[in-house]
Amino acid sequence: MKKKIVKYNKFLSYESDSLKMEEVSLVGIAKAIKTPVYCYSVSQIKYNFKELKKSFSNCKPLICYAVKANFNKNIIKILGQLGAGADVVSIGELKQCLKNGISKKKIVFSGVGKTSEEIKFAVKNQIKQINVESEEELQEVIEICKKLKKKIDVGLRVNPNVDAQTHKKISTGRFEDKFGIPQTKIVSIFQKFRNNGYVDINCVSIHIGSQIRSLLPFKLAFKKLRNLILNLQKKSFTLKSIDIGGGVGIVYNDKKDKIFTISNYAKLIEKYFTDFKTQIILEPGRFLVGESGVILSKVIRIKKGENKTFLIIDAGMNNFIRPSLYSSDHQIFPVKNKKTKQKYEVVGPICESSDIFKKNFLMSELKQNDLIVILSTGAYGSCMSSRYNLRNEAKEVLIEGKNFFGI
């Protein structure tokens, strides 16, 4: 009898009503590893990277993976082997990249709160560049370089005052946000430090937010950045690179999320920046790894309430905080699909009322010890986990073809 196969995406599918990632049964994963467990499709990560890369026809940008999205060392190794650099925001992320195959000349250090220790480490290792977010930070970089008798490339992160039209907690490009230097101050900083012997300011950088669904905020920010670059050129400043950050959104719920195509994003970048004939840096995180991951969880029990039925699972907000923190709406699938349906409130075991993954959700009727997956948890999932309630963190596995590894 022919197997029935229903695909959710290229690498997640039901085969005879049992869910598989690539060619590995998720039932088999749960037998081998105690739930909850994060599962990542290696092929999906590779596909996303290659799709982004081939979307450009008039330039070859340096793709620096935003490590804050997921700092799993095996994911970093895979992306490094594909030629990716890294965008890091802490000494921990920087060390993780250096240990796992990312060339130091492809590492950009971003972030508003770099400590003296972090700046020293970056300068000593002569990474590609430090993106500073204030004149005060720039002064500290200079003092450290002076003591170490070293010089380093610096980018100025521009705050273009553009609303990314995303969740308020992940918008970073408005004047009210803590990030970046107001656009009005950039030229004067270039002029003030033009002949400094310890830093070479040769890049302008922006990052206006995350999970951006429309090209309009990018267009507004790119236009402002382009005008700034033209102004710098008029004053005889030369740029080595233009860092346009990341922020490309992904589909979390296919009934709600409408995202632009990556090819149209690439065309917009080329329209505004390729004529400058300088290196373009991209910093995607969520786009590369978000849809690659699911969190596999087991049903603890079904609890009948007065007005609703609670599906209590062993993954909690300590394992995956996005729904509690950002009210994010992730799709949930049963690992074994059944015809009989039931409405559930899908909740975790944490002693917080906000430990909810899905409300009033119709899915296959489940019982104790059945398995479910929460989709698109490859970004800002495991890396934001905690030991709250002294619960264990979820293990992580990578799946490629018929094999899984990296436990």
What are the residue numbers of the active site?
351
How does DSSP assign 319-383, residue by residue?
T--HHHHH-----EEESB--S-EEEEEEE-SSSSTT-EEEEEEEEE---TT-EEEEES-SSSSGG
Residue 59 exposure: Cα atoms within 13 Å on the Cβ side: 22
Burial of 243 (0-12, 13-18, 19+ CB in 10 A): buried
Q: At what angle do helices 73-81 and 91-99 cross, to 10 degrees?
A: 60
Closest CA to 262 of 278, 243, 249: 249
How far CA 293 is from CA of 96, 289, 315, in Å, comes to 20, 7, 15
**Does the bond joining 217 to the residue before it have cis omega, within 30 degrees of 0?**
no
Measured in degrees and rounded to the nearest 5, phi and psi for residue 345 equal: -100, 110
Reduced to 3 states (helix: H, G, I; strand: E, B; else coil), residue 269 is helix
How far CA 387 is from CA of 317, 318, 348, 382, 391, in Å, comes to 10, 6, 14, 11, 5
